[in-house]
Structure 1
Amino acid sequence: MKIDHATIVTPQLEAVRQFFCDIVGLTAGERPPFGFEGYWLYHDGKAVIHLIKTHSERPITKSPARIDHIAFRVDSADEWNKLITKLQAATYEYESSQVPATGERQLFVVPTPGVMIEFVTAAA
């Protein structure tokens, strides 16, 4: 068994699509003709992020059971540095930290309210 995809429901569909395409490097691709707006975003030919537009501007409330964030592994120092450059150029705020014991580095970004993305690397 393996994870197939993550679905993000957001009122800011275009902003979230732009983040995943411009910053993460995913590509918008084919999507079945559902009766609601959205995108399927691809990596290596696989739709890994499904975006769905909601018309509710109500903030997402925290419930006892929820998914907190999605994480992307960055394999090389060059990719990591390019990611930071893209985030800064697009003026996304992010928090950085280090994983105790492993030394892995993390960046946390909130491209739109209610959506948190983590980037993690072991690259020095």
Structure 2
Amino acid sequence: MPATSLSHYNLRANRDQMILLKEFYCEFVGLKAGPRAALNSYGFWLYAGDQAVLHLSEIRSGEHRQSELKTSFDHVAFNCVDIPAMQGKLEQAGIEFQLADIPASEGFPAQKQIFFNDPLGNGVELNFV
């Protein structure tokens, strides 16, 4: 049975970092905090429209997360609208970002992309068709 779509991704951090991530992804990606399954832990589910795309989970007692370890994870990407507003918001907040122009090719429309890092260093890509 093949996968049909991406459901969500999960970031694990301590409570203070989770709150920082929640505020960051709501402010600079436009996600919204929403309902979360009745779990026996602290955390947030952040939504793009009616889809919970980012889960923020608190690290478990005694668990140590390797935040300095470079893994093969590079970034998560979101489809977005209104690139001028997003650029302005990032510039006003002093968040460093890179821009890319992707030309149209067979089966793919031209798009602009913005790349930046969240407060914990995870890569974020915003796509604007």
Q: Which amino acid counterpart does residue 16 of structure 1 have in structure 2?
A: L
Maintained 8 Å contact 2:32/2:46: yes
Name the structure 1 match of 2:31: 26
Are 2:111 and 1:111 equivalent residues in the alignment?
Answer: no
Q: CA deviation at 1:101?
A: 6.6
Identity of paired residues, percent?
A: 28
Residue 83 of structure 2 is aligned to residue 80 of structure 1: yes
Amino acid at match of 2:78: F
TM-score w.r.t. the length of structure 1 is: 0.77
The alignment's TM-score, normalised by the length of structure 2, stands at: 0.75
Kept in 2: contact 1:92–1:111 (CA 8 A): no
Q: Aligned AA for 1:120? A: N
Cα deviation per residue 1:75-113 (whole Å; 9 max; x = unaligned)?
Answer: 4xxx11111122122222212233367663221111222
1:29-44 equivalences in 2 (<5 Å)? 29-44=34-49
Q: How many residues align?
A: 117
> How far 1:30 moved relative to its partner?
1.2
Q: Secondary structure at the match of 2:118?
A: strand
